Amino acid sequence: MTIIDAHLHLFPNGYTGFQRPSPLGQEVDLDVYERLMAAHGISGGLVVCYEGDGIDPTNNAYVRDLAGTRRWIESVAYVDPSSALLPGHIEALLAAGHVGVALYLPDASTVKAALAWPRETWDRLSIARAIVSLNARPEAIAALPPLIERAEGCAFLFSHLGLPGRCEARPALAKAAVRLDPLLRLAPCGNVGVKISGLYAIDPVAPHRAAQPFVELLLERFSPSDLHWGSDFSPALEFVNFEETMQFPGSDVLSDSQRRLIFGEGLAAKIREVRR
């Protein structure tokens, strides 16, 4: 089975957002991740670049430098949604080897800014069949349908189950559906997918039982070709071990074809669209 990680991060000096000492110790992110790849049969990964919070202001370039010697790396470039992003900037990112962009939309103002990018910018992404990785909560997702309709050639991938938020106890399925409604409404769109990643943000203790209703809804509403497993390496390791990221609720009852699509084949098809 082809396994491709749909959401990981690589930083030259490690992720600095841990609340406790790094679970990686003094080891380099890349070295640890490549060992995990070998141990779990992972053949590739989509690195989600991030240049905020002072972690690595040149992360886009750093990841592409790594990709020069490691063909397993695909990447989406970090872009600041509040910048007036021009088509030429997108052209440069694609020419550098990125297969798309990563947008972090924590509030209404950042969503508004991204919606205000020149139409030509979104047209360029759409023509390229670019992957657009989105970290957006339901409130932000509710404002995005016009953009998703406009940039129909893009593959919009919502990270971490659509970030429904922390749950102290497992919610009823109906309550989970209300919270996830803006994302579930996008299921009929042909260019929207969801990453099954970051379950610790809902329930920090594996096997993340409070996240189960959200996963069930996504498995019910979305095609398995539009659901993509992601480890969220290395931030996830503050809460779980790597193997636990691969054992999300409901993964044990997937058919062989569903498992193949969710763990890699679906994402591989979207990456091929960009490379083509």
Phi, psi (deg, nearest 5) at residue 200: -65, -20
Q: What pLDDT is stored for residue 107 in this prediction?
A: 84
Which amino acid, one-letter code, is at 70?
A: R
DSSP designation for 233: B
162 closest CA partner among 137, 196, 191, 181 = 137
Q: What pLDDT is stored for residue 152 in this prediction?
A: 96
Phi, psi (deg, nearest 5) at residue 30: -60, -45
Q: What pLDDT is stored for residue 276 in this prediction?
A: 83
Residue 113, both tokens = 């800014």
Evaluated on CA atoms 216, 220, 222, 223, the torsion sign reads positive
Query: For 25, what's the count of Cα atoms within 13 Å in the CB-facing half-sphere?
Result: 3
Cβ-based neighbour number of residue 8 at 10 Å: 25
> Can you tell me the distance from the alpha carbon of 4 to that of 240, in angstroms, rounded to the nearest whole number?
19
Q: pTM of the predicted model, to two decimals? A: 0.97
Residue 267, both tokens = 């994402």
Residue whose structure tokens are 């979207």: 270
Helix axes 119-127 and 87-95, enclosed angle (nearest 10): 30
Q: What is the full per-residue pLDDT of the chain (276 aa) written as tens digits?
A: 899 999 999 999 999 999 989 999 999 999 999 999 999 999 999 999 999 888 999 999 999 999 999 999 999 999 999 988 899 999 999 999 999 999 999 888 899 999 999 999 999 999 999 999 999 999 999 999 999 999 999 999 999 999 999 999 999 999 999 999 999 999 999 999 999 999 999 999 999 999 999 999 999 999 999 999 999 999 999 999 999 999 999 998 899 999 999 999 999 999 999 998
C-alpha to C-alpha distances, 92 to 85, 124, 154, 162, 206, nearest whole angstrom = 12, 11, 17, 29, 41
Q: What pLDDT is stored for residue 109 in this prediction?
A: 87
Question: At 94, which helix (H) or strand (E)?
Answer: helix 87-95
Cβ-based neighbour number of residue 155 at 10 Å: 24
